[in-house]
Amino acid sequence: MDYEHRHGYRRPEGYIDLPTDPDDHEQAIDDALVDHPDNGEIVAAVVTEANPKQVKASFIDGNVAVVQGNDLWFVASALSTRTQPNQRIRPGAIVRLMKNDDDN
């Protein structure tokens, strides 16, 4: 983690297409996350909504994380519309999340 903080956020691990049908949507998330197992406290999730102020991401168990405010500082450049599409955090991006010290 120290290495990551020193070098900055690189990009999502991958991307999936999110279907509009709710059942297909959940299945696509599950299928994608099976290929991206958790690594201890660092958990894989699929972004379902993203803008510079807030990111929502779904976990394989169906829970949703909402990341906002100062918790976005590390990935702020990846939320910009000026970022290359293959490096941008957007719906369908596969990312890793970790609880912060505030238990959020």
Query: Is 102 a domain residue?
Result: no
Residue 43 lies in a domain: yes
Query: What CATH number has the domain bearing residue 27?
Result: 2.40.50.140
Determine the pLDDT at residue 86. Answer: 87
Residue 25 in any domain: the answer is: yes
Structural domain includes residue 103: no
CA–CA separation, 64 vs 57, rounded Å?
6
Q: What is the pLDDT of residue 3?
A: 46
d(CA 26, CA 2): 33
pTM of the predicted model as reported, rounded to 2 decimal places: 0.86
Helices (H), the chain: 2-7, 22-34
Containing domain of residue 10, as a range?
A: 2-97
| Domains in the chain, number | 1
Residue 104 domain-assigned (yes or no): no
Q: Which two tokens stand for residue 40?
A: 């201890």
* 31, 44 contact by CB (below 8 A): no
Predicted confidence (pLDDT) per residue in 54-95, tens digit: 999 999 999 999 999 988 888 888 898 888 888 899 999 999
Residue 31 forms part of a structural domain = yes
1-54 pLDDT, tens digit each: 454 554 556 689 999 999 999 889 999 999 999 999 888 888 999 999 999 999
